[in-house]
Amino acid sequence: MDYKTIVVRKEDLIALVTLNRPEAANTINFDMKNELMRLLSELSHDDETRVLVITGAGNMFSAGGDFRPRHVREKTVSVKEAEDMQPEYDDVKKGNVLPAVIELTLALQRFGKPTIAMVNGPAIGQGFDVALACDLRTGSQQARFMMGFVNMGLPPVTGGAWLLPRVIGTGLAMEYIYTGDWCTAEEAYRIGLLNRLAAPEKLEEETMKLAGRIAQGAPIAHRLAKEEVRRGQDMDLESSLAFSTTCAVIAGATDDHQEGIKALAEKRRPQFKGR
């Protein structure tokens, strides 16, 4: 499929997706959101994709949602383009949740394959939440993070209030939410927001190396493990253990499990097929 706002490259069981609106700081408009949603649906059924990596074009990961009223004032979009958002704003005023805001976060969280945000530059607001919604995050020294909503007089909108405390802990999360301050790449790595920190020129190489290592694993086990972690965040330990047992029974009936046992006995690397 041809895309207008993202670029997709597939190789070695990895799909590298680039948010491609550098002229607008890779802000997430409705077209990008819809294209990402379609892509996630396609990749979920693509046996040749085992890991998804998301990054941004140019020197920005994403400056967040496409805040069109400001762009109208700056004359970078037309009034007509801004008016297209009015029905969504009207829904919010009536107490309805804004579907375009929440769908992408939910889709990334529910995507059944490992995901990595390769943060090549600033990630702000919804851009930060896209990175948080991924399973892992890598970044260069040019990466930095800002929740940012409070600076516009808003609470977190696109999942950060739920996601960020689960990644870095409640106290630190509340500080970044309350202040709207930047979190530098070095600090992000120190507090566990980034899994890997690399030089800018080495970021893609290091990220793809990590993605490649994951891609060689057992796809069914990965999918089940992701469900265990995601669902387990809202379970007590007993319920989580019961769910984990169910997942283990499912995985134990796969060819990949038999291959893992055989490879261990033969002292070789297993060749998982996702069956």
CA 232/CA 30 separation, integer angstroms: 32
- What confidence tier does 149 reach under pLDDT thresholds 50, 70, 90? confident
Q: Is the CB of residue 206 less than 8 Å from the CB of residue 213?
A: no
Please state which of the ranges 66-70, 125-129, 162-166, 197-201 shows the lowest mean pLDDT: 66-70
- 234-264: b (≥16 Cβ within 10 Å) or e: eeeeeebeebbeebeeebeebebbebbeeee
Which domains are present in the chain? 6-215 (3.90.226.10), 219-266 (1.10.12)
Residue 32 has pLDDT above 60, yes or no: yes
Mean pLDDT over residues 126-154, rounded? 93
Predicted local distance difference test score (pLDDT) of residue 72: 45
Per-residue pLDDT of 173-206, as tens digits, reads: 999 999 999 999 999 999 999 999 999 999 999 9
CA 221/CA 252 separation, integer angstroms: 9
Predicted local distance difference test score (pLDDT) of residue 204: 97
Overall residue count recorded for the chain in this entry: 275
- What confidence tier does 157 reach under pLDDT thresholds 50, 70, 90? confident
Residue 70 has pLDDT above 50, yes or no: no
Predicted local distance difference test score (pLDDT) of residue 66: 77
Name all contacts of 9-13 with Cβ < 8 Å and 24+ positions apart: 10/48, 10/49, 12/212, 12/215, 13/48, 13/49, 13/50, 13/51, 13/212, 13/215, 13/216
Residue 123 has pLDDT above 50, yes or no: yes
Residue 90 has pLDDT above 80, yes or no: no
If one compares 69 and 179, the residue with the highest pLDDT of the two is 179
